[in-house]
Amino acid sequence: MLFRIESDSVGEKQVPKNAYYGVQTLRAYENFNITGRKIHPELIKALAEIKKAAAITNMEVELLNRKKGDAIVKACDEIIGGKLHEEFITDPIQGGAGTSMNMNINEVVANRATEILGGELGDYSVVHPNDHVNYGQSTNDVIPSGGKIATIRLIDKALIQLQNLVDALLEKSVEFDHVIKMGRTQMQDAIPIRLGQEFHAYANAIKRDIVRIKRAGQDLKHINMGATAIGTGLNADEMYVKHIVPNIAKVTGIDLIQNDDLVDGTQNLDGFAAVSSALKVCAISLSKMSNDLRLLSSGPRTGFGEINLPSKQNGSSIMPGKVNPVIPEVMSQVAFNIIGNDLTITMAAEAGQLELNAFEPVLFYNLFESIETLAHGVETFIENCVKGITANEEHCREMVENSVGIITAIVPHIGYKDSARLAKTAINSGESVKELILKEGLLKEAELTTILNAYGMTEPGISGKELLKK
């Protein structure tokens, strides 16, 4: 391999001759061999958009000559379009508050712009990573702003899948609206409910999660570009500071707003923590739903057996014919991971000191993973589970008819004490509630038929007495 020699404040170093990254990126690559992964493509794109907007702004305020500026813009456009992403070699978890990521984009853009202008890679006399690409900026406003842009886009993709899940659950709620089953509280028989009502409740929980995530995501539209190192805007032209965020908004197509207080915007990462918290709550909803689906489908002969999940693969290497609820299982595992990531994000947001939080890299790594795994998990949950669920209608009806839980509907007519006595007798004797009431002559059969109408028991506000009046 051929090399070129580059130098920085630490000293000289050999850099691969054809590399678009430079010495500072290479040092970071060697220092931070942590995850074996690279910077997220959405973050690369966001950083390139920031560098493009910065070049445009610096040209507008006549602090960057048109020739260099146009070359920087062209290089950024190529990166935004997906080129040169292999040149971003720094690990996503790194020390230095993201300086290595910022220098990675600065060096790649500078070298590509130099090449566009006819220069050789590594000849920073043409376009310099710091003096030209990073002009008027700092890692401390570039990296949090890039992280917010990337997060907004990832959230948008996840929200599409969550809305798809709401739609799928609502379709099932209509399909199962007529299916009467026993409701359960604390894993014990309670009173009848329609299977469709359960699925409608799942849909509403996810609707609330969508609202929470959207609300939290709005805060990320406030970015601290123009803050430079600590929020005071040192080394940034006043007109640049005024126009940089509107130009980033134009480049990204996102209605971004500059932080009212750039010191606050540089110090604090609470907006990211809020997004992670909303994702955690959504994960809780999804895992609770997955728990329910596993219970309702348990069996097929010795469990609840009220619904059937699609058979996706063999469930055992030793037990023939066994099929496991693998999709709800993986959905819960995604949820566990998101919940764990939220703790890391919480600690990273808390750990900043004074004018800067140095722990954005690990926060972004976990946040991006949470959003992407949520989106992918929900997608497979919809396609490979929810859409294919069927109901065992007859089995559900039989369990309602044989349940002692329906005695609750009798309470307004014979009182709680007698109802409790009959429930205990039914459990011990195996006789049905209806048989015992008729045997003791407490109610007439016509009255019982009306009172014990299972569908009527699932409509809020309709008591047994009201039913008898109709």
Q: 334-378 pLDDT, tens per residue?
A: 999 999 999 999 999 999 999 999 999 999 999 999 999 999 999
Residues 6+ apart with CB under 8 A from 32: 90, 91, 93, 94, 95, 100
User: What is the predicted pLDDT for the residue at 302?
Assistant: 92
**Nearest to residue 342, comparing CAs of 376, 377, 366, 365?**
366
Altogether, the residues listed in the chain come to a count of 470
User: What is the predicted pLDDT for the residue at 452?
Assistant: 83
| % of the chain residues with pLDDT over 70 | 98
Structure confidence by residue, pLDDT tens digits, 226-278: 999 999 999 999 999 999 999 999 999 999 999 999 999 999 999 999 999 99
**Max intra-chain CA distance, the chain:** 102
Structure tokens at 298: 């348990």
User: What is the predicted pLDDT for the residue at 434?
Assistant: 83
For domain 141-393, the question of CATH label 1.20.120.640 is answered with no
Q: Rounded CA gap, 90 and 32, in Å?
A: 7
Burial status of residue 346 (CB atoms within 10 A of its CB: 0-12, 13-18, 19 or more): middle
Q: How many CA atoms lie within 13 A of 380 on its CB side?
A: 17
Q: Sign of the C-alpha dihedral, residues 79, 84, 85, 88?
A: negative
Q: What is the mean pLDDT of the chain?
A: 94
Residue 464: pLDDT band with limits 50, 70, 90:
very low
**If you average pLDDT over residues 286-297, what whole number do you get?**
98
Distances, alpha carbon 325 to alpha carbons 292, 321, 460, in Å: 11, 13, 33
**If you average pLDDT over residues 180-189, what whole number do you get?**
94
Structure confidence by residue, pLDDT tens digits, 293-311: 999 999 988 999 999 999 9
Domain spans in the chain, listed from the N-terminal domain onward: 3-135, 141-393, 404-469
**Residue 236: how many CB atoms within 10 A of its CB?**
25
* Peptide bond before residue 300 is cis, with ω within 30 degrees of 0: yes
**If you average pLDDT over residues 43-67, what whole number do you get?**
98
User: What is the predicted pLDDT for the residue at 470?
Assistant: 46
Helix, strand, or coil (residue 8): coil
Q: Are strands 307-308 and 257-258 parallel, antiparallel or unpaired?
A: unpaired
In the chain, % helix, strand, coil (3-state, to 5) comes to 60, 5, 30
Q: Phi and psi at residue 13, in whole multiples of 5°?
A: -155, 145
Q: Rounded CA gap, 250 and 283, in Å?
A: 34
Residue 378 one-letter amino acid? V
**If you average pLDDT over residues 390-401, what whole number do you get?**
94
Helix, strand, or coil (residue 7): strand
CATH architecture of 404-469: Orthogonal Bundle (1.10)
**Does residue 5 have a pLDDT over 80?**
yes
User: What is the predicted pLDDT for the residue at 406?
Assistant: 85
User: What is the predicted pLDDT for the residue at 461?
Assistant: 57
Distances, alpha carbon 273 to alpha carbons 84, 147, 206, 222, 255, in Å: 31, 13, 20, 14, 21
Q: How many CA atoms lie within 13 A of 413 on its CB side?
A: 21
User: What is the predicted pLDDT for the residue at 321?
Assistant: 86
User: What is the predicted pLDDT for the residue at 456?
Assistant: 83
User: What is the predicted pLDDT for the residue at 410?
Assistant: 87
**Does residue 462 have a pLDDT over 80?**
no
**Does residue 468 have a pLDDT over 50?**
no
Residue 63 is classified by DSSP as S
Q: How many CA atoms lie within 13 A of 215 on its CB side?
A: 9
**Does residue 49 have a pLDDT over 70?**
yes
For domain 3-135, the question of CATH label 1.10.275.10 is answered with yes
Given a contact cutoff of 8 angstroms between Cβ atoms, the answer to whether 191 and 455 are in contact is no
**Nearest to residue 370, comparing CAs of 348, 350, 342?**
342
**Residue 120: how many CB atoms within 10 A of its CB?**
11
Q: Is 9 tagged catalytic?
A: no
Residue 239 CA to its chain's centroid (Å)? 37
Burial status of residue 9 (CB atoms within 10 A of its CB: 0-12, 13-18, 19 or more): exposed
Q: The whole model's pTM is what?
A: 0.93
Computed over its alpha carbons, how large is the radius of gyration of the chain?
Answer: 31
Structure confidence by residue, pLDDT tens digits, 97-153: 999 999 999 999 999 999 999 999 999 999 999 999 999 999 999 999 999 999 999
Residue 407: pLDDT band with limits 50, 70, 90:
confident
Among the options 145, 287, 297, 316, which is catalytic?
Answer: 316
Give the residue carrying structure tokens 């920087």.
72
Structure tokens at 438: 């008729």
**Residue 1: how many CB atoms within 10 A of its CB?**
7
**If you average pLDDT over residues 49-62, what whole number do you get?**
98
**If you average pLDDT over residues 438-459, what whole number do you get?**
84
Given a contact cutoff of 8 angstroms between Cβ atoms, the answer to whether 101 and 39 are in contact is yes
* C-alpha triplet 94, 98, 103: angle, nearest 5°: 110
Given a contact cutoff of 8 angstroms between Cβ atoms, the answer to whether 384 and 327 are in contact is yes
User: What is the predicted pLDDT for the residue at 469?
Assistant: 53
